[in-house]
A = this chain, B = another copy of it.
């Protein structure tokens, strides 16, 4: 916010040709080892712009069935790219070479879309993180099979914090990625980073055509700069992860609460029976994420850069209290 105030002082050249934005872009590229970066407004926009650089209309994207791209972007990929997604069911939101291979049938057959991009999310929609070894293995598989890799990094900071690695360590395993600011404390800014020669061609025109060119770009630049200053992006994410681990510990002490997926970021997914889920939903304005069959439900709990240990402990206590309410209330 202070960074925005500073950016508001004085006049500036429009459309990103200002000092603040140029500096932020340069820092971001240096941090990731990227060739170029484009700032956009939302995570969906980052995904679509990134994929625009990699696809022709008859080519397809292999992604997890549960991915944000497939589920939560209201068909932006289909509308703006005109491309088909080839979703794969996964146990934990993560693709594997075998899962990807299952969608590689029909290559060379003119009746079929042609898989061209592996779309990963780091962290995944289910809060899990790929290890660097897993990313390397996927990279090698992709290269062996003529596939590019795109990584949705809306929460890449949480993955870097969890893995204890640099942004460049992750970025090196993909061709294009997004770097998310909005879910890590910014008002609203995401970046599209290009790692591979030739893929950035025309990116600025795609961005404008996709309605992501801010005339007062410096306000996006200032947000990005603030996140990068003193490693704020990483300390914020690290803090959120710690709070998630603390919450997971507290919740799993309650009877009947199990983790649905390992806690590898700032998200905790718990599985509880339906009666409890409905009561918690009622009390905590939390959505039921999914039904896992057998009368059980999965609930998602997110922590943020500004979640405090006290917040976590109070929440855990309140949840516990909710357990003791008479069942007939639900």
Contact = CB atoms under 8 A, between A and B. Distances in A.
Interface in A234-278: none
Given A110-B204, A187-B219, A209-B58, A78 B82 contact: yes
Contacts of A73: 111, 208-209
B187 A110 contact: no
Contacts of A71: 106, 111-112
7 contacts: A8-B187, A42-B215, A57-B79, A58-B79, A72-B111, A74-B205, A188-B216
Contacts of A202: 56, 58, 114
Interface in A188-216: 188, 202, 204-216
A270 to B, nearest CB: 20
Given A4-B1, A205-B114, A211-B42, A79 B80 contact: yes
A41 interface: yes
Contacts of A205: 58, 74, 110, 113-114
A75 interface: yes
Contact of A74 (B45, B80, B85, B209): B209
A72 B78 CA distance: 17
Contacts of A52: 57
A158 interface: no
| Residue of A71, A73, A78, A114 with most chain B CB atoms under a 10 A cut-off | A78
A322 interface: no
A84 B80 contact: no
Q: How large is the interface on A (under 10, 10 to 19, 20 to 34, 35 or more residues)?
A: 35 or more
Given A84-B75, A188-B214, A188-B219, A44 B208 contact: yes
A93 to B, nearest CB: 17
Contact of A44 (B72, B113, B211): B211
Interface in A34-69: 40-45, 48, 52, 56-58, 60
A131 interface: no
A303 B26 CA distance: 32
A213 B110 contact: yes
Contact of A78 (B5, B78, B106, B110): B78
Given A48-B211, A210-B211, 6 more contacts: A15-B111, A57-B79, A58-B206, A72-B111, A79-B80, A80-B82
